[in-house]
Structure 1
Amino acid sequence: MYRKFIIIFLIAIIFMPGVIFSNDDFDNEYFETIYYGEDPAGDDYGPGAYRYPGHRVFQPGEGHFDLKSFEIQAFNSEYRFIFEFGEIENPWDGKYGFSHQLIHMYFDTYSETGQSELFRPGARVKLNPDFPWDYHLQFSGWWLRLMDTEDDPDDLVRDILNVDAEISPWDVYDINVEVLDSKIILELPEEYLGDIQGSKFYLLVGGFDPFGEDNFRPVQNYRTNWSFYYDQYLDESNNFVQEEATRVIDYFYPEPGYQEEFLGVNFDEISYLKPIKIPLPEKTFIELIRDYSYLIAFIYSIISFFIISYILYFIIRSASDE
């Protein structure tokens, strides 16, 4: 009986490293939230004085561009981005189930490359030079595009007969998109962005216009059916310059009042935007061990050698005594 116990103990020592260093796939049977944040509600007015276009497809004049929350989930080799809006409709039969929203994201993944200028200038905002971006994602109801700093912004072909307006070399097709109530859910393979935990991102929301600059719906200082309207009576500064005014209707930032302060109707007066950080995951004890797997495996091998040698010596000696 005593020898059986010793044999079981030896087997446990031999196979223990396999348990410690194996992949715990049983913990990854669901999407895990790696970032969640809420944006102030009712701030779909750009710097504070923008109003919706007058056409009936934009009624009730609020909600369509009001990003209420944003969530990033991860599962194995895939990311899920969840954009929650006040209103989601599809009057122009967008391929992915929505028509109004244009989403631009910039990711700072701390690579050796990076740039702080916008990929193309249509959004009319300033990104923080301390946090240069590595990947740029554009998302509309008809396409998803992904660029990096090596791509040429001029690699576009205009197509005035196509609702896409531009034929792009950056289109990504192996994605899943679902519109569920007030949420747009995008599933994107991780290979496009790499590991984004611990990185930073900028999230801009504008109105999709197939013929607008960089597909942003323009802003005018007079009311029209198809352009956003700048209401000078709601802005004490009244420094609106149409060619320089931001076209971002909602900037994702959980702090109330931030958007009004950092967006602007005159590009010279716009402040550098702050990105949002995706936190690093809190590691379990087993994951911490895996970080030093080679060192621990070496130490474990030496200790195991001495323990097993001593036990075998003890068994041989006991047998000889009998």
Structure 2
Amino acid sequence: MVLKKIKDKRKKLIILFIICLFIFTAAVNAENYNVIFNHLDAAGDDYGPGNYLYPQNHIFQNKGNLFDLQSMTIFESKSEYKIRFSFSNLTDPWGAKYGFSLPLLEIYIDNNSTGSNQLFHSGAGVSFDPDFNWNKFIKISGWWIRAFNPDSQKENLLNINELSLNEPGVNNNFSLNKKDNDIFLILPKSEIKSLDNSKIVVMVGSFDPFGYDHFRSLSKSKSYWQIYSGNEIPLTKAPRVLDILVPGGSSQKEILKGELPAIPYLEIDTDIAAVEPTIIDYLKPINKISVSILLFYIFLLIFVIYRFKYHN
């Protein structure tokens, strides 16, 4: 061992300390994410405008809140964003690639001066506020991630291969994983650009690989595979989303009750000054590993000092 060749015990101790400090710093940097946005949504509101019911098939029954998005948190590192979508109850009756089968997530991002005010496809049955012009659209199922710009070539919705459960093409820039009831989406900054002071719309539907735009269709009567709608408006103009992230003070029932309702956006305000972390922050799960490593190396250093008699 190199340390054995060094006769000066004090030099050995200094070198050992530097090695420990380097390893600890690397461990801390591996978890170097800052929370730039967090939004909580009402629990148990995956009923669209208030009167939608799940299909009658057994995979939807007696489970509860299968499409209920409870919160979204955006973490930022030097090179990427990590978005956590926290659901009430993610299930996987069909054995999906990413571990969840039923929700369909659509995320529209406005972080540029130009963009589109229209849905990429009309399957969601909604519209946008006049001052929301998206330039990045991300669509997620349990089998694939798809990303589009306003000028992207649209999918052929009559092509059965694109509506299947197979991945039509791998997007190497994005990654997705699931842990418990959380879905994590990783977005490189080189692909998504900055989210500083951007706008975002998040919608959840029921994934149907053979449904128009992958949304499960509505029905005026209770059905085995369709979502029951008690609305009086025509089904062709009714929203097919079950849950949305609602701005504070707004009501999802009121937002979604009309024909092709306008979905309000959330603002990601990164101008708010960051608060210095407290001891509570350091004890949060994301920092527990770093704190544990620090304590381990302090213990190791004390052991080495007394074991090899580096003290006077």
Same fold, TM-score > 0.5, yes or no: yes
* 1:122, distance to aligned residue in structure 2 (A): 0.3
For residues 29 and 57 of structure 1, do their structure 2 counterparts lie closer, same or farther at Cα, with a shift above 3 Å needed? closer
Alignment match of 1:40 (pick from 39, 42, 62): 42
Does the 8 A contact of 2:45 with 2:243 survive in 1?
yes
Mapping of residues 263-282 of structure 1, within 5 Å: 263-264=256-257, 266-267=259-260, 270=261, 272-282=262-272
Distance across 1 between alignment mates of 2:142 and 2:204? 13
Distance across 2 between alignment mates of 1:88 and 1:202? 21
* 1:256, distance to aligned residue in structure 2 (A): 5.7
* Corresponding residue number in structure 2 for 1:137: 138
Distance across 2 between alignment mates of 1:189 and 1:146? 13
Structure 1 gaps, min length 5: 1-25, 233-237, 285-322
* Corresponding residue number in structure 2 for 1:99: 101
Does the 8 A contact of 1:107 with 1:134 survive in 2?
yes
Mapping of residues 105-116 of structure 1, within 5 Å: 105-111=107-113, 113-116=114-117
* 1:176, distance to aligned residue in structure 2 (A): 3.2
* 1:152, distance to aligned residue in structure 2 (A): 2.6
* 1:99, distance to aligned residue in structure 2 (A): 0.5
* Corresponding residue number in structure 2 for 1:6: none
* 1:259, distance to aligned residue in structure 2 (A): 1.2
Deviations 1:238-262 (A, max 9, x none): 4231111110100111436521111
Distance across 2 between alignment mates of 1:162 and 1:28? 38
Letter in 1 for 2:186: E
Does the 8 A contact of 2:40 with 2:71 survive in 1?
yes
Letter in 2 for 1:52: Y
For residues 166 and 30 of structure 1, do their structure 2 counterparts lie closer, same or farther at Cα, with a shift above 3 Å needed? closer
Letter in 1 for 2:255: F
Distance across 1 between alignment mates of 2:66 and 2:78? 32
Does the 8 A contact of 1:53 with 1:61 survive in 2?
no
* Corresponding residue number in structure 2 for 1:55: 57
Structure 2 gaps, min length 5: 1-27, 275-312
> What is the identity percentage for the equivalent residue pairs of Structure 1 and Structure 2?
34
* Corresponding residue number in structure 2 for 1:303: none
Does the 8 A contact of 1:38 with 1:254 survive in 2?
no
Letter in 2 for 1:255: G
Deviations 1:56-102 (A, max 9, x none): 11132531111111111111211111111110111111111110010
Deviations 1:258-293 (A, max 9, x none): 2111113533xx2x2211011124568xxxxxxxxx
Does the 8 A contact of 1:64 with 1:87 survive in 2?
yes
* Corresponding residue number in structure 1 for 2:68: 66
* 1:42, distance to aligned residue in structure 2 (A): 1.1
Distance across 1 between alignment mates of 2:236 and 2:167? 21
Distance across 2 between alignment mates of 1:193 and 1:162? 26
* Corresponding residue number in structure 1 for 2:174: 175
Deviations 1:182-238 (A, max 9, x none): 1111222222210012100000000000011110011111111211111x3xxxxx4
TM-score, normalization by structure 2: 0.73
Report SS of the residue matched to 1:243.
Answer: helix
For residues 166 and 82 of structure 1, do their structure 2 counterparts lie closer, same or farther at Cα, with a shift above 3 Å needed? closer
* Corresponding residue number in structure 1 for 2:243: 250
Report SS of the residue matched to 1:54.
Answer: coil
* Corresponding residue number in structure 2 for 1:299: none
* Corresponding residue number in structure 2 for 1:292: none
For residues 65 and 256 of structure 1, do their structure 2 counterparts lie closer, same or farther at Cα, with a shift above 3 Å needed? farther
Distance across 1 between alignment mates of 2:195 and 2:223? 41
**Number of positions where the alignment pairs a residue of Structure 1 with one of Structure 2:** 248
* Corresponding residue number in structure 2 for 1:202: 201
Report SS of the residue matched to 2:123.
Answer: helix
For residues 148 and 266 of structure 1, do their structure 2 counterparts lie closer, same or farther at Cα, with a shift above 3 Å needed? same
TM-score, normalization by structure 1: 0.71
Report SS of the residue matched to 2:235.
Answer: coil
Does the 8 A contact of 1:82 with 1:186 survive in 2?
yes
Who wins on radius of gyration, i.e. which is larger?
1
